[in-house]
Amino acid sequence: MIEPTTLTVSGDRVVAVYEFSGNVADAEKRANALRVEQTIEFPADLVPNDDIQREIIGRIESLETVGTDLSRAEVSYAVETTGYELPQLLNVLFGNSSLLPGIKLVDVTLPASLTDRLGGPRFGIDGLRTMFDAPTRPLLATALKPMGSPPERFADMAYELALGGVDMIKDDHSLANQPFAEYAARVRACSDAVRRANDHTGLNSIYMPSINAPQALLEERMRIALDAGAGGLLVLPGITGFDHMRDLAARSDVDVPIMGHPALLGGFVSSPVGGISHGVLYGKWMRYAGADLSIFPNYGGRFSFSPEACTEVAEACREPIDGVAPIFPSPGGGMTRDRIVEIVDFYGNDVTLLIGGDLHRGESLEKTAAAFRSSIE
C-alpha cells in the first residue's frame, strides 16, 4: 500500500465512450480494468482511499448493454491526467487499451479547459467559405498525380486546374521529396503556377503541398512551402503525428488552412469490434488537432467505407462543439464527376468534393475543372 496522496484538481473531466464486445456479464470487470489501465496502470487495491483513487483513476459514469454481446461504458478522466497536451490526451483515451481485443473507442467529449489549450482549426468551415468567396456552395479539391511526373508537369496541371476554378489543388499524399520531383522545385513551381492562374481568373485557388518528411525536416519543408506562397498544407497525422498538425494550426506564422489526410490510419477503423470509430478518428481527432478539412474514403469508391461510416465522419466534423470550429468533411478515394449530385445530396453543401484522376478524362484539365466548378454553382 502506498502513502495517501492529496491533490488539487479542477473537476473538469474528459469523457470517453467505449464499446466492449463479448460476454456482457464481463463488461463491468473490463470497464474497471480499463479505467485503471488508462491512468495509473498500477494495482488499484494498493492505492488507498485518497485523491489518486478518487480523482486520477478513471471513473465509470455509466455502463449499459446495447446489443447481443455488446456493452457500452462511459468513462471520465480528470483533465489534469492529460497534462493539457494532445499526445497525452490520446494516450489517456486509448493508449494501452488499444492493445486489448474487443474494445472500441466510439466517442470523446473534451472540456473547454482542454479545447482552449489545443486550439483546434484556425479556419474551419466559415473561414474557408470566406477565403474562397463561397458562402453556400460545396468546395472543390483535387490532387496532383501521378507520382513520377516532373515538377514542370505538376505545375502545368496546377495551372490548368486553377484556371478551371478548383479551390484547393493539393499534392497527392504520395508526393514527398523523390528525385524525379524534388520537394522544393515542385512546391515553388506549383505555387507560382497557381498564383499566375489566379492573376488571370481573379479567383483564389490555393496549392497545398504535402508536409510528409522526417521529423528533423518538417520545419524546413513547411518553411519552403510558405516562402513559395503555398496557400495551404496537406498533413498526414497518422505518419508525422497529430500533434505536428496541431502545432502547425496553432502557430501564428502558419496562417494557412490545413487538410488532414488519412494515410496509415485505416487499421484503426477496420475492425467492427475494436479500434476507434470513424467519427472519432476522422472527425473529432482531426478537428481537435487543427485540421480545417478531413479527407476520408467515400462510400462506393476504391475503399470499403459504408454510407453509415461516412455519415458518422461528416457529423463529427460538423457537430457543434463549444470553442472548436466545425470543419469540412472531404470524401474522396476514386470519386468521379458523374457522382457529384449524389454526393452533395448525401452530405449537403458543407462538404469538400475531392476528385482526382477523373478530372484527367477529357479534352483538357482546364475544361474538366471548369465543368467540375460549374456543376456546383
- Domain architecture of the chain: domains with CATH: 13-118 (3.30.70.150), 124-374 (3.20.20.110)
Q: What is the mean pLDDT of the segment spanning 284-305?
A: 95
Dihedral of CA 353/356/362/366: which sign? positive
pLDDT digits (tens, 9 = 90+) for 298-342: 999 888 799 999 999 999 999 999 999 999 999 999 889 999 999
Identify each DSSP E strand in 218-282 by its residue range: 233-235, 258-260, 275-276
What pLDDT digit, counting tens, does each position of 48-79 carry?
999 999 999 999 999 999 999 999 999 999 99
Q: What is the pLDDT of residues 212-225, one digit of tens each?
A: 999 999 999 999 99
User: 55 near 78, Cβ under 8 Å?
Assistant: yes
**Band of pLDDT at residue 1, cut at 50, 70 and 90:** confident
Question: Strand 70-78 relative to strand 59-67: parallel, antiparallel, unpaired?
Answer: antiparallel
Tens of pLDDT along 98-116? 999 999 999 999 999 999 9
For residue 2, what pLDDT band results from cuts at 50, 70 and 90? Answer: confident
**Mode of pairing for the β-strands spanning 258-260 and 293-297:** parallel
> Hunting for cell 470513424 — which residue is that?
278
Distance CA 46, CA 30 (A): 19
pLDDT tens, residue by residue, 230-260: 999 999 999 999 999 999 999 999 999 999 9
pLDDT digits 0-9 by tens, 24-48? 999 999 999 999 999 999 999 999 9
